[in-house]
Structure 1
Amino acid sequence: MAITRTLDALRRRRVSARAAVAVAYVASLLMAALDTHVVNIMLPTLTTELDSPLSAVQWTVLAYLLALAVAMPASGWLATRFGDRRVFQASLGAFTVASGLCGIAQDLPQLIGLRAVQGAAGGLVMTVATSMLYRLYPPEQRARLVRTLLLPIAVGPALAPPLGGFLVEHLSWRWAFLVNLPVGLATMAVIALGLPRDPPGRPGRFELGGYLLAGIGLAAVLLTLTQGPVWGWASPAVLVLAVVGPAALAAAVAVQLRSRAPLLDLRLLGARLFRQTNIATAFQTATFLGGILFITPIFLQERAGSSPLQAGLVMALVPVGVVLSSQTVGRRYHVIGPRLMSVVGLGLLGAICLCLAVFGGATPLWVLCALMFLAGLTNGGAMVALQASMFAQVGPEHMGSASTILNVNRQVATAIGVAAATILMTTPADSGFRLAYLATAVFAFLGALASTRILDSEAADTMRAPTG
């Protein structure tokens, strides 16, 4: 009985619930980063271990990506119908079990199927964790929240490649999946102890037509962007996907706007603050995740002659810069405001991309180290501003749709950044890397331009000094 009373008291503590959700959010992003970046590194190993061509092994990545895209649009409805806690626990449990099974898969078809399960579960985990996080933390505490969470958010994508390389080289590719088991189990325990039970769900109509159109459209768009450089942009498959994707998404938007109970409330984008912060976030994501963090490790190894370990150490300076800016400039968010912070941060990030475009393979390594540190520094300030202000005018009842829109936005923006960089890096000219960095600079400057339309007055609730 004493244990039961203790657990009940723990569930009733609001701070404990907030901490539990913050842990869940960080863990979901770290696990997603591992699954996205580590698997890319071990593709050559899988071709040997599973005795399959690279074209077949690539479906371990595509299955995850496509299932994630298809599952995301349903996350808001599922959370409303069954409750955030229940959906998060179920999807994280499925993700964790699938991770363990991936680690013991005996052949490629098994691995591809399990990766699809991972992707579908991961799509729900990320969106539900985001909505829980912003629902529990009031606007005036979100700037401090984002500053706290930026370290693990930045560390995941930056350190996943060297971690993946270490696991594959010194242990086994199977450990790249098995490392998710303790993280997933620990996160489920934290949520079970920290969050109260869900209130009764609200039954609602599931907009099947809109869901199918959104899923097909997102899958087709992501497949076009990721496979265009591989299959050829003029190949029949890519051309068909390039037509089907936008058409299906346009139809999905039309269906959602006409529906009285939309799966995704796209009317949220009618609010300027939410719309402009999402646009700026798309360009920031394409610049940072789809650009700098994708291009630079390849540049370091192919043009600068760095080893994988050296490349990993250089990239490790990115989160150092992110954390430093979040704990210095980020602390002045309440004074500076989201507009100026995001405009200056993205503008300076674009300038750094221009510097990277100018320097060639003969550039001293210390210069590249400095630029990676500065990239993290400038990106950190922009991230604090955009993430802290984005949901300022979104009510709790719309948080599910808003978080889904944000996470879909990030996935598509990353794919666009990677596709643009891949196209330019593989051009016959010797200036491929230079062109790729120029493209990331353009993305950053467009993000800064979008940020000029953010009004601090609309994010005023997030700029109040926190009281606790």
Structure 2
Amino acid sequence: MTTQKLLTPQTVIRMVYVAAMFLVAMDATIVNVALLSICEELQISPAAAGIVNIGYLVSVALVLPMAGWLGDRFGGKRMLMIAVTLFTVASVCCGFASILGELILFRILQGIGGGLIAPVGMAMLFRAFPPQERANISRSLILPIAVAPALGPIVSGFFVEQLSWRWCFYINVPIGIVAIVFGLIWLKESGKQPVGKLDLPGFLLSAPGFAMLIYALSQGTARGWASPEIVITGLIGVIFLATLVFVELRTDKPMLQLRLFTDRLYRTTGMIALCTAAGLLGMLYIFPLMLQDVFGTSALHTGLTTFPEALGLMAASQLMPRSVAKLGPRRLIRLALPCAMVVFALLCLVSADTNPWLVRGLLLSGGLTLGHAVGALQLLAFARVEPAQMGQAATLFQVQNRLGSALGVALLGSLLAAVSAATADAAAVGAASEATSRVAYQVALLGAAGFLLAAWGFSLTLREADTAGVQYKKPPVPGGAMKEKTTVSV
């Protein structure tokens, strides 16, 4: 079989997108473990080091709203290659940074590249695959969605202990170079889509609006929700976004196509995805903290303990096409979300005496169940989106996921802080310190389960009529030929 037959346009965009998203997803978690080491080498306070992540998050929020327009206007391949190149070069510069200002600047450049990669690449991917084949691409997408974030703390812990924090950035270089070379040679241009001029009012409202809201959500717990900085920033962000909705709905060719939300299926799956992202990212924020803060687990061991969650998501990606064929995505989502919710609730019972393999088994089960829901959601969300609107749909979907992740971490972090303060008196009068500290984390984990409960509630509003006509290809029968023309209504 020739290279040309192996490297079909669908295969190439899948490989380039997975590699690019792997970089972005791993970078989101790999730096956190290295922050203390960065503080020591650059001789800065931990509070100052937090700006390293803030700059990245804010720059992502700035470019994310216009990513769909840029991909449609200048071509998906061109924008994806620019974004991956910028991210890779900025990673090299981060590794060579000698002062805090340099590191912040290069992290901002990383964020610009990372903010463009997800929606532009996703739009190209879903344009390349017809709706009936999209159930099977979840097997590839789970690598950046599940494995990369879980692998980040493990890799970071190893680099910090054995080499240097700078390798947390250098590791992006070989993967980025491969993605760039591969994309430039074999990736086909998806073609420009008919778009008008840049919606300047939309950009001037969305970029600062999302940036301010993300900043307020990510820093509210650390700086205090009542602090003037957080209140003013968050309020201005909300005002900007409320104005954005008013303006975009009255624009012929808006930068953010909010009219996509008039499709009940897209709107509902978006809300389910937002709540699911909040619950998953909130749990991955709270549970590792509990292991380290309450039980004294090392950062590296914590990463190894939580990694089975990613293995569960990987297993789900392989099983999901068959599960969808048997149950349909609507029933699968309704079944998977309560199961994941129960797993999250059971994590509250973990103690210092709990068998580590039982903990890993719970996390594996959580990833397995939630992975089915995530895969089925992506299948439904873009099922009715026309190719010309795919860039806009992917951008809105990424914005919702980003807001959901920030919302989950912010609210659960605040819940953790509030309950910790409330139980401090009990510890002062002689209660066991581990037990009282654990209570706050237990409540926060129940909050993560609550987000999944909300997602399940939204899933109950999906009607059979909403998914009527949505089709997907049956997976191949083991030992038999693939039924190429057989489709099943969901």
Please give the residue correspondences for 1:107-118 in structure 2 after superposition, counting only pairs within 5 Å.
107-118=99-110
Please give the residue correspondences for 1:46-445 in structure 2 after superposition, counting only pairs within 5 Å.
46-197=38-189, 199=191, 202=194, 204-288=196-280, 290-426=281-417, 427-428=420-421, 429=423, 430=436, 431-445=439-453
Post-superposition CA distance 1:19-56 (Å, at most 9, x none): 11111221222111222111111111111111112222
Alpha-carbon contact 2:88-2:177 (below 8 Å) kept: yes
Shift of 1:364: 2.9
Alpha-carbon contact 1:345-1:381 (below 8 Å) kept: yes
Give, as a single letter, the amino acid of the residue that structure 1 aligns with 2:196: G
1:3 alignment partner in structure 2: none
SS at structure 1 position matched to 2:37: helix
Answering whether residue 37 of structure 2 is matched by residue 41 of structure 1, we say no
Give, as a single letter, the amino acid of the residue that structure 1 aligns with 2:256: L
Post-superposition CA distance 1:403-456 (Å, at most 9, x none): 101111111111111112212223222321011111011100111111122345
Alpha-carbon contact 1:282-1:410 (below 8 Å) kept: yes
2:470 to 456, 461, 465: 461
Alpha-carbon contact 1:159-1:315 (below 8 Å) kept: no
SS at structure 2 position matched to 1:21: helix
Structure 1: distance between partners of 2:195 and 2:388: 14
CA RMSD of aligned residues (A): 1.9
Alpha-carbon contact 1:333-1:463 (below 8 Å) kept: no
Structure 1: distance between partners of 2:89 and 2:290: 36
1:58–1:445: structure 2 CA closer, same or farther, 3 Å change rule? same
SS at structure 1 position matched to 2:15: helix
Structure 1: distance between partners of 2:259 and 2:453: 27
Alpha-carbon contact 1:80-1:201 (below 8 Å) kept: yes
Structure 2: distance between partners of 1:49 and 1:359: 36
2:12 alignment partner in structure 1: 20
Shift of 1:328: 2.8
1:305–1:106: structure 2 CA closer, same or farther, 3 Å change rule? closer
Structure 1: distance between partners of 2:296 and 2:228: 37
SS at structure 2 position matched to 1:463: strand
Shift of 1:458: 4.1
Shift of 1:234: 0.9
Q: How many residues end up aligned between the 2 structures?
A: 458
**TM-score, normalisation: structure 2:** 0.89
Moved more, 259-268 or 151-160: 151-160
Post-superposition CA distance 1:206-260 (Å, at most 9, x none): 1111111111111111111111111111111011012111111111111111100
Structure 1: distance between partners of 2:69 and 2:6: 25
Structure 1: distance between partners of 2:464 and 2:325: 10
Unmatched segments (≥5 aa) in structure 2: 424-435, 476-482, 485-490
Structure 1: distance between partners of 2:190 and 2:390: 16
1:15–1:387: structure 2 CA closer, same or farther, 3 Å change rule? farther
Identity across matched positions, percent: 34
SS at structure 1 position matched to 2:474: coil
Structure 2: distance between partners of 1:294 and 1:165: 16
Structure 2: distance between partners of 1:381 and 1:197: 31
Shift of 1:106: 1.7
Structure 2: distance between partners of 1:25 and 1:197: 14
Moved more, 143-152 or 368-377: 143-152
Alpha-carbon contact 1:77-1:263 (below 8 Å) kept: yes
Alpha-carbon contact 2:275-2:451 (below 8 Å) kept: yes
Shift of 1:140: 0.8
1:406–1:237: structure 2 CA closer, same or farther, 3 Å change rule? same
1:203–1:291: structure 2 CA closer, same or farther, 3 Å change rule? closer
Structure 2: distance between partners of 1:387 and 1:40: 28
1:464–1:19: structure 2 CA closer, same or farther, 3 Å change rule? closer
Shift of 1:94: 1.1
Structure 2: distance between partners of 1:291 and 1:222: 15
Structure 1: distance between partners of 2:309 and 2:230: 34
Structure 1: distance between partners of 2:12 and 2:190: 15
Post-superposition CA distance 1:171-191 (Å, at most 9, x none): 111111111111111111222
Structure 2: distance between partners of 1:396 and 1:53: 49
**TM-score, normalisation: structure 1:** 0.93
Structure 2: distance between partners of 1:273 and 1:200: 27
Structure 2: distance between partners of 1:30 and 1:376: 18
Alpha-carbon contact 1:304-1:362 (below 8 Å) kept: no
Shift of 1:358: 3.6
Give, as a single letter, the amino acid of the residue that structure 2 aligns with 1:364: N
SS at structure 2 position matched to 1:305: coil
1:307–1:106: structure 2 CA closer, same or farther, 3 Å change rule? closer
